[in-house]
């Protein structure tokens, strides 16, 4: 019923506008209906936007995905966003980093190491990358994604026509997960460890309001409330804190695949995901970028 009324209403309003009318009389019962029509229209346009798939060149069939749109994938955790004092984004992020450093919950677990690694990059970035947790090199340098996986991420950012300083790079878990005989060994953060740090990344999202988030790997996606394998979640938009999220392969996975001589398909898919993120962020995409993997077999 409501959907049927919408085109008629639009036609009527267009006619009135063409006739130079700037106001139309609305009966009380119609006045009640209008907000419902408007919110329905907003939901439809959100759904259309969220169900868009990658614009990249793919000789592969699209990733198998459950029916989109997936409004259920919108993370329902806004209450975890923290109140942070500060006049600018820089000030708020600096204060938030201090709050993370002093936060009792992650430390109370006793399973994370002591050094806090917060984030790096542009507080006004349109693109935000989110990984899982710092590793040995990140802990040494106090900066996310500076080890081997980080070097590949930097190459990907360069291929997007950006610099590390243009984007914002962070992790869900702000401390390196501890393990026995640690040495340079790293492990994925547990769900509990990510949950203890979740308010910080959600508040970073809230402060920065990027145009798009790229969740690097299934663990990061899961930490953000997007469960399931990357192969099922990539190639479409999810929503966290009102921001569109692209899920893609973790750079460590791309490196492992490459070592096993099987990296091309995952790399191609990762690039398609980046094109999707670039498109959403309104970044220019050249023909060369669009066709990056076109001529390569695999």
Q: Which residues contact ligand URA (rule: CB under 6 A)?
A: 131-135, 138, 144-145, 147, 149-150, 171, 216
Environment class of residue 269 by beta-carbon count within 10 Å: exposed (0-12), middle (13-18) or buried (19+)? buried
Measured from the CB atom, the residue of 70 and 273 that comes closer to ligand URA is 273
Least gap, CB of 159 to ligand URA (angstroms):
19
Give, in order, the Cα–Cα distances in Å from 277 to each of 8, 21, 56, 140: 36, 42, 10, 30
Cα-Cα end-to-end distance for the chain: 50
Distance CA 156, CA 175 (A): 24
Q: How many CB atoms lie within 10 A of CB 219?
A: 21
Least gap, CB of 252 to ligand URA (angstroms):
6
Residue pair 188/216 in contact (Cβ under 8 Å)? The answer is no
Environment class of residue 252 by beta-carbon count within 10 Å: exposed (0-12), middle (13-18) or buried (19+)? buried
Least gap, CB of 62 to ligand URA (angstroms):
26
Measured from the CB atom, the residue of 213 and 216 that comes closer to ligand URA is 216
Least gap, CB of 137 to ligand URA (angstroms):
8
Q: Which helix (H) or strand (E) holds 167?
A: none
Measured from the CB atom, the residue of 50 and 157 that comes closer to ligand URA is 157
Number of H helices, E strands in the chain: 12, 8
**Nearest residue to ligand URA on Cβ basis:** 131
Measured from the CB atom, the residue of 171 and 203 that comes closer to ligand URA is 171
Least gap, CB of 202 to ligand URA (angstroms):
17
Least gap, CB of 86 to ligand URA (angstroms):
24
Measured from the CB atom, the residue of 100 and 216 that comes closer to ligand URA is 216
Least gap, CB of 121 to ligand URA (angstroms):
12
Residue appearing with tokens 């547990």 = 190
Paired with 116 in beta bridges are 175
Q: Which residues contact 5 (CB under 8 A, 6 or more apart)?
A: 33, 37
Least gap, CB of 64 to ligand URA (angstroms):
25
Q: How many CB atoms lie within 10 A of CB 68?
A: 16
Closest CA to 189 of 247, 113, 126: 113
């Amino acid at each position: 019923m409501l959907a049927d009324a919408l085109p008629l209403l639009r036609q009527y309003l267009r006619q009135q506008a063409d006739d130079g009318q700037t106001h139309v009389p609305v009966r009380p019962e119609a006045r009640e209906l209008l907000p419902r029509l408007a919110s329905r229209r907003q939901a439809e346009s959100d759904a259309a936007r969220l169900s868009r798939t990658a614009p990249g060149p793919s000789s592969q069939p699209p990733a198998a995905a459950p029916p989109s749109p997936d409004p259920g994938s919108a993370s329902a955790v806004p209450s975890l966003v923290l109140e942070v004092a500060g006049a600018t984004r820089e000030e708020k992020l600096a204060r938030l980093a201090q709050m993370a450093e002093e936060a009792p919950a992650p430390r109370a677990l006793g399973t994370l190491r002591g050094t806090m690694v917060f984030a790096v990059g542009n507080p006004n970035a349109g693109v935000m990358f989110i990984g899982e947790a710092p590793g040995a090199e990140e802990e040494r340098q106090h900066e996310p994604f500076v080890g081997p996986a980080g070097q590949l991420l930097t190459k990907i950012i360069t291929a997007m026509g950006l610099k590390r300083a243009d984007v914002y790079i962070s992790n869900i878990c702000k401390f390196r997960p501890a393990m026995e005989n640690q040495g340079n060994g790293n492990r994925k953060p547990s769900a509990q460890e990510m949950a203890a740090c979740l308010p910080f990344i959600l508040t970073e999202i809230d402060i920065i309001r990027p145009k798009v988030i790229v969740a690097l790997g299934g663990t990061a996606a899961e930490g953000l409330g997007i469960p399931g394998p990357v192969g099922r979640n990539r190639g479409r938009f999810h929503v966290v804190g009102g921001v569109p999220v692209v899920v893609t392969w973790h750079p460590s996975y791309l490196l492992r695949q490459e070592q096993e001589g099987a990296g091309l398909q995952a790399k191609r898919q990762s690039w398609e995901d980046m094109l999707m993120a670039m498109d959403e962020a309104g970044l220019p995409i050249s023909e060369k970028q669009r066709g990056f993997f076109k001529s390569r077999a695999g």
